[in-house]
Protein backbone atom coordinates (compact mmCIF):
# COMPACT_ATOMS: atom_id res chain seq x y z
CA UNK A 1 0.00 0.00 0.00
CA UNK A 2 2.86 2.36 0.76
CA UNK A 3 4.40 1.74 -2.66
CA UNK A 4 1.05 2.17 -4.42
CA UNK A 5 0.32 5.39 -2.53
CA UNK A 6 3.77 6.73 -3.38
CA UNK A 7 3.33 5.76 -7.04
CA UNK A 8 0.04 7.69 -7.18
CA UNK A 9 1.28 10.66 -5.17
CA UNK A 10 -1.10 9.99 -2.28
CA UNK A 11 -0.17 11.15 1.21
CA UNK A 12 -1.32 8.19 3.32
CA UNK A 13 -0.31 6.87 6.68
CA UNK A 14 -0.11 3.09 6.31
CA UNK A 15 0.47 0.75 9.21
CA UNK A 16 0.15 -2.96 9.82
CA UNK A 17 -0.86 -4.85 12.94
CA UNK A 18 -2.20 -8.23 13.95
CA UNK A 19 -5.17 -8.96 16.16
CA UNK A 20 -3.02 -11.35 18.20
CA UNK A 21 0.30 -10.74 19.92
CA UNK A 22 2.08 -14.00 19.08
CA UNK A 23 4.51 -12.36 16.60
CA UNK A 24 4.86 -8.91 18.21
CA UNK A 25 8.34 -7.52 17.68
CA UNK A 26 9.28 -10.09 15.06
CA UNK A 27 10.37 -9.32 11.49
CA UNK A 28 8.30 -10.50 8.51
CA UNK A 29 8.50 -14.13 7.40
CA UNK A 30 11.49 -14.66 5.08
CA UNK A 31 9.16 -15.89 2.34
CA UNK A 32 7.29 -12.58 2.55
CA UNK A 33 10.58 -10.68 2.49
CA UNK A 34 11.53 -12.57 -0.67
CA UNK A 35 8.35 -11.90 -2.61
CA UNK A 36 8.34 -8.25 -1.57
CA UNK A 37 11.96 -7.85 -2.67
CA UNK A 38 11.15 -9.39 -6.07
CA UNK A 39 8.59 -6.60 -6.44
CA UNK A 40 10.99 -3.86 -5.36
CA UNK A 41 9.67 -3.41 -1.82
CA UNK A 42 11.96 -3.80 1.21
CA UNK A 43 9.97 -5.00 4.23
CA UNK A 44 12.96 -6.24 6.27
CA UNK A 45 12.91 -3.29 8.72
CA UNK A 46 9.23 -3.84 9.62
CA UNK A 47 8.27 -5.44 12.93
CA UNK A 48 4.95 -6.98 13.90
CA UNK A 49 2.75 -5.25 16.42
CA UNK A 50 -0.68 -5.89 17.88
CA UNK A 51 -3.64 -3.68 17.07
CA UNK A 52 -4.55 -1.26 19.86
CA UNK A 53 -7.80 0.42 20.84
CA UNK A 54 -6.27 3.74 19.77
CA UNK A 55 -5.98 2.44 16.19
CA UNK A 56 -9.77 2.63 15.88
CA UNK A 57 -9.70 6.41 16.19
CA UNK A 58 -6.20 7.02 14.78
CA UNK A 59 -7.05 5.50 11.40
CA UNK A 60 -9.95 6.22 9.06
CA UNK A 61 -9.89 2.71 7.59
CA UNK A 62 -8.88 -0.63 9.06
CA UNK A 63 -8.87 -3.61 6.73
CA UNK A 64 -8.68 -7.26 7.73
CA UNK A 65 -7.31 -10.06 5.60
CA UNK A 66 -9.90 -12.61 6.68
CA UNK A 67 -13.24 -13.07 8.40
CA UNK A 68 -11.78 -14.18 11.76
CA UNK A 69 -9.68 -11.03 12.02
CA UNK A 70 -12.62 -8.86 10.97
CA UNK A 71 -14.72 -10.48 13.71
CA UNK A 72 -11.91 -9.89 16.22
CA UNK A 73 -11.60 -6.25 15.13
CA UNK A 74 -15.32 -5.72 15.66
CA UNK A 75 -14.97 -7.24 19.12
CA UNK A 76 -11.93 -5.08 19.97
CA UNK A 77 -13.36 -1.81 18.65
CA UNK A 78 -14.12 0.67 21.45
CA UNK A 79 -17.46 2.47 21.60
CA UNK A 80 -15.87 5.65 20.20
CA UNK A 81 -14.32 3.90 17.18
CA UNK A 82 -14.41 5.99 14.02
CA UNK A 83 -12.46 3.74 11.64
CA UNK A 84 -14.34 2.06 8.82
CA UNK A 85 -13.80 -1.73 9.02
CA UNK A 86 -13.72 -3.94 5.94
CA UNK A 87 -12.14 -6.99 4.41
CA UNK A 88 -9.15 -6.19 2.23
CA UNK A 89 -10.59 -7.92 -0.81
CA UNK A 90 -13.79 -5.87 -0.48
CA UNK A 91 -11.73 -3.29 -2.37
CA UNK A 92 -11.20 -5.55 -5.40
CA UNK A 93 -14.08 -5.73 -7.89
CA UNK A 94 -15.58 -9.21 -7.88
CA UNK A 95 -13.75 -10.27 -4.69
CA UNK A 96 -16.01 -8.64 -2.07
CA UNK A 97 -16.51 -10.80 1.02
CA UNK A 98 -13.51 -13.02 0.28
CA UNK A 99 -10.48 -13.63 2.47
CA UNK A 100 -6.89 -13.17 1.33
CA UNK A 101 -5.10 -16.50 0.82
CA UNK A 102 -3.09 -17.42 3.93
CA UNK A 103 0.28 -18.78 2.77
CA UNK A 104 1.67 -19.47 6.24
CA UNK A 105 1.63 -23.27 6.17
CA UNK A 106 2.47 -23.64 2.49
CA UNK A 107 5.53 -23.10 0.36
CA UNK A 108 6.96 -19.84 -0.93
CA UNK A 109 4.65 -19.88 -3.99
CA UNK A 110 1.70 -19.18 -1.69
CA UNK A 111 3.25 -15.84 -0.83
CA UNK A 112 3.15 -14.89 -4.51
CA UNK A 113 -0.61 -15.54 -4.54
CA UNK A 114 -1.05 -13.45 -1.40
CA UNK A 115 1.12 -10.67 -2.87
CA UNK A 116 -1.06 -10.57 -5.99
CA UNK A 117 -4.26 -10.33 -3.91
CA UNK A 118 -2.87 -7.66 -1.61
CA UNK A 119 -1.53 -5.70 -4.59
CA UNK A 120 -4.94 -5.76 -6.29
CA UNK A 121 -6.49 -4.45 -3.09
CA UNK A 122 -3.82 -1.74 -2.80
CA UNK A 123 -4.77 -0.58 -6.31
CA UNK A 124 -8.46 -0.52 -5.36
CA UNK A 125 -7.85 1.37 -2.13
CA UNK A 126 -5.54 3.86 -3.83
CA UNK A 127 -8.17 4.47 -6.49
CA UNK A 128 -10.76 5.12 -3.78
CA UNK A 129 -8.46 7.40 -1.80
CA UNK A 130 -7.31 9.22 -4.93
CA UNK A 131 -10.92 10.16 -5.61
CA UNK A 132 -11.19 11.68 -2.13
CA UNK A 133 -7.99 13.77 -2.36
CA UNK A 134 -10.01 16.95 -2.10
CA UNK A 135 -10.91 16.04 1.48
CA UNK A 136 -9.33 18.20 4.16
CA UNK A 137 -7.35 15.27 5.57
CA UNK A 138 -5.78 12.37 3.74
CA UNK A 139 -7.29 8.96 4.43
CA UNK A 140 -5.21 6.48 6.35
CA UNK A 141 -5.34 2.72 6.37
CA UNK A 142 -4.09 0.04 8.70
CA UNK A 143 -3.98 -3.31 6.97
CA UNK A 144 -4.30 -5.98 9.61
CA UNK A 145 -2.69 -9.28 9.00
CA UNK A 146 -2.67 -12.77 10.39
CA UNK A 147 0.70 -14.11 11.46
CA UNK A 148 3.58 -12.48 9.58
CA UNK A 149 2.06 -11.93 6.15
CA UNK A 150 3.55 -9.26 3.92
CA UNK A 151 2.29 -5.73 4.36
CA UNK A 152 0.33 -4.31 1.50
CA UNK A 153 2.28 -3.79 -1.66
CATH, residue 44? 3.40.50.2300
Q: What is the pLDDT along the chain (153 residues), one digit of tens a residue?
A: 999 999 999 999 999 999 998 899 999 999 999 999 999 999 999 999 999 999 999 999 999 999 999 999 999 999 999 999 999 999 999 999 999 999 999 888 999 999 999 999 999 999 998 886 544 344 555 554 433 334 445
149 in any annotated domain: no
E strand or H helix at 87:
strand 84-87
Q: What is the dihedral of CA 105, 110, 111, 112, to 10 degrees?
A: 180
pTM for this entry = 0.84
The total of structural domains in the chain comes to 1
Note whether 47 and 25 are within 8 A (CB). Answer: yes
Is there a domain that residue 150 lies in?
no
Amino acid sequence: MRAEAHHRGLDLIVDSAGTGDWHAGEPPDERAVGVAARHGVDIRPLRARQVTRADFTRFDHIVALDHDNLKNLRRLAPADATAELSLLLDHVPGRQGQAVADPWFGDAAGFDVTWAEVTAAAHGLAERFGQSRSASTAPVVAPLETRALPPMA
